[in-house]
Amino acid sequence: MRLAALLLLTLFLTLPRASADWTTSRGNLQRTGNIDAQPGPKKPRVLWAYKAAQHFIASPVPDAGTLYLPGLGAFNTPAFHAFSIDADIAERALWSKAGPFIKLPSVSAPAVTGGLVIFGDGMHQTDGATLYCIRAENGRPVWQYSIPGKLVHMEGSPTIEKDRVYIGAGDAGVICVELKKLTLEGQDTDPAAAQKLLEARWAELTAKYAEAKKKDPDFAIPPSEDALPKPAPKLVWQQGKGTLHVDAPVAVAGERVLVASAYIDDDKVGKRALVCLGAGDGKVLWEVPLVGKYNPWAGPTVAGNTVLIGCSSIRFDRKLIPAAKGEVVAVNIENGAILWRKELPGGVLSAVAVSGDLAVATATDGTVRAWAVANGAEKWSYNAGAPFFAGPAVSGSSVYAADLKGIVHAISLADGKPEWTFNVATDPAVQGPGMFFGSPVVHGGELFLATTNIDGDQPNQPSVVVCLSDKIAGAGAANAVIAVDKANRRISIPAKIAPRKLPNLKDVYPLEVLATFPTPRGQKAHETIVTFEAKPSEIHKALEQLGLKPGKPAKGEGSIATGPEVTVALELPGVAGRTRLVPIEPAMIDIRTGKKMPPLKWHFTGSAIRQPDPAKPAKVYGADLSGTLATIYPVTDETVLQSNLTLAETSLLRLETNSNVLPAEGTPVTLRIEVKRTSE
């Protein structure tokens, strides 16, 4: 028996484990932004980056190979995204949700458990709110719970504990609903039964749409998930309606629910207090007033018998930073007695993180501070030189903090000394200005962050979701080795047929380039024929090995590309394992006329040189930044090859890939560049 038990234990320990659920704000009651105990990167580089027209205010949430994140579109239109965290995946966006299914803008970082994703909508300027539960695999609805009312919104993350969901709802106080006990059309049900009905109704709607398309495709309206029945979770209790104003995440510690309530000066509602409720019935166990004019936007952090809460005189408003002040308060969880408090020359807008006996917080004065949890003695401080809205993440021996200039700081947890800084905004793999409002998370040894430009200096610039890692981008992708054939004066580069419709863009754009890095690193990845992973500067060197000297790239009206002439072709898969060679021109078709592109002249121009960081003298090969290898028109001088076409032809041609010539998107091919023979 003992041997059998040992074998069973061994088998259990060697089975693959499901990833831990992310059931509360920042992953745990200590608000560290890390639940797998794996330390973050030591020599970070951008593993991948995803640019979007939306703003990302909330912290990203990782789970089972996916990153979940709400976003704000134009005029605060709502969206919710699921991104793959696989470095080598072709399409970063897995699925997304928007209106009319999501009713209001959302800044609520989700909770994830058992294949379900839960988040709320509404912001401080909206009324009424809805709590959503959707399926992690595809975003399909499971249930939703709506609360009407003025100044009702769900800005903080929900917490899931013992199959119950707890969330603050602005002037509606705090609600607790059942995760798996539902009602639908007046009848009790469960998620499995409700899902079966929803799938059946969805099949009916899609069938009706298909019939409508056959009759009149111009007027057929695609089905909307908002037209489906709406199962609702059973309400367990609601506390603080009309007396509390709860925008911060709540913390559920055993049988206690810790709630941070704010006082809204403009509307004269709520109260500044830390409130402890009973998890089972929502009854008030104790309440501690928060003195002064500091609101507890950061929400509670729990470290053993101590509750820590960060407070600020301002909300997430950059214009008010110069006047911001704040404090961190430590309270006994048993009775609400104040243990210590630290007043600060900056506001604390995001949760305090606790690791061991240290409490770490960021503030709008640009300082990261650490105190002893036991007595509030300051252990160290780190001056970043830029304000913080985002809170710290802690993993291993490091603290990670992201500021409003787009810079990430890694700091020693032991003594506060700098380990490294990384400027996401100016990094060549990102090249996008942005501020960090949402706190970073550490997962699988990698650091995940998302930027916003809302109310920033460059509001029309895209925001970006970024993964920083010690790994090298493309290391797991197909081999990008450049083959140099000096005898035949040609080089060959592994590539793939590019997707022509990117999920983050509404339209399909005409071709402007031949080859570029894949999305999101390639700046022209939405208007290319093929994508590749090799560095353009290495391809430049390979062409020089063939005896060529680059000319000069053109850009804009009136400029002409110069340089030795080459031919460009694709080696495509054929029958019986053979390949076929196709010149690049027939791979393009003018969709206005249906005609193939006639032969062009291609010049080895080389790239313009760029200085990514104006504060640093280092210069780089421009095409390595944009990822562009060959351009059809002179739309950029960051390239290696250019054709003889000018910008005037862009109004005459509308180029698309020729599906009669090219294989399916994603097919591996070889891009071949050859020195043009004089007899051609």
Q: Mean pLDDT lowest for which of 143-152, 501-510, 521-530, 665-674?
A: 501-510
* Residue 611, pLDDT above cutoff 90: no
Structure tokens given for 586? 């027939």
* Residue 298, pLDDT above cutoff 60: yes
Task: Round to whole Å and give the CA distance between 90 and 84.
Answer: 10
Q: What residue has token string 């910008």?
A: 647
Measured on CA atoms in the order 520, 386, 74, 33, is the torsion positive or negative? positive
Residue 593 phi, psi (nearest 5):
-110, -20
Q: Which residue has the higher pLDDT, 611 or 31?
A: 31
pLDDT value of position 19? 46
* Structure confidence by residue, pLDDT tens digits, 110-135: 999 999 999 999 998 899 999 999 99
* Residue 1, pLDDT above cutoff 50: no
Q: What residue has token string 């704010």?
A: 262
Residue 585, by phi and psi: left (phi above 0), alpha (psi -120 to 50) or beta?
alpha
Strands 609-610 and 483-485, bridge-based pairing: unpaired
Task: Round to whole Å and give the CA distance between 90 and 181.
Answer: 38
% of the chain exceeding 90 in pLDDT: 71
Q: Mean pLDDT lowest for which of 65-69, 85-89, 362-366, 600-604?
A: 85-89
CA distances from 424 to 44, 219, 416, 448 (A): 11, 45, 22, 11
Rounded (10°) CA dihedral 636, 46, 621, 436: 60
Confirm if 107 and 249 have CB atoms less than 8 A apart.
no
pLDDT value of position 11? 33
pLDDT value of position 7? 34
* Bond into 345 cis (ω within 30): no
pLDDT value of position 575? 63
Residue 662 — pLDDT band, cuts 50, 70, 90?
very high
Residue 263 phi, psi (nearest 5):
-110, 125
- CA-angle at 451, arms to 450 and 452, nearest 5°: 135
Hey, is 657 helix, strand or coil? strand
Cα Rg of the chain, angstroms = 28
Secondary structure in 3-state letters for 542-610 = HHHHCCCCCCECCCCCCCCCECCEEEEEEEEECHHHCEEEEECHHHEEECCCCCECCCCCEEECCCCEE
Residue 38 — pLDDT band, cuts 50, 70, 90?
very high
Mean of per-residue pLDDT scores for the chain: 90
* Residue 478, pLDDT above cutoff 60: no
Mean pLDDT, residues 202-219: 86
pLDDT value of position 34? 97
Residue 388 — pLDDT band, cuts 50, 70, 90?
very high
pLDDT value of position 27? 97
Hey, is 651 helix, strand or coil? helix
Residue 293 — pLDDT band, cuts 50, 70, 90?
confident
Report the chain's terminal Cα–Cα distance, integer Å.
82
Measured on CA atoms in the order 79, 143, 242, 128, is the torsion positive or negative? positive
Residue 577 — pLDDT band, cuts 50, 70, 90?
low
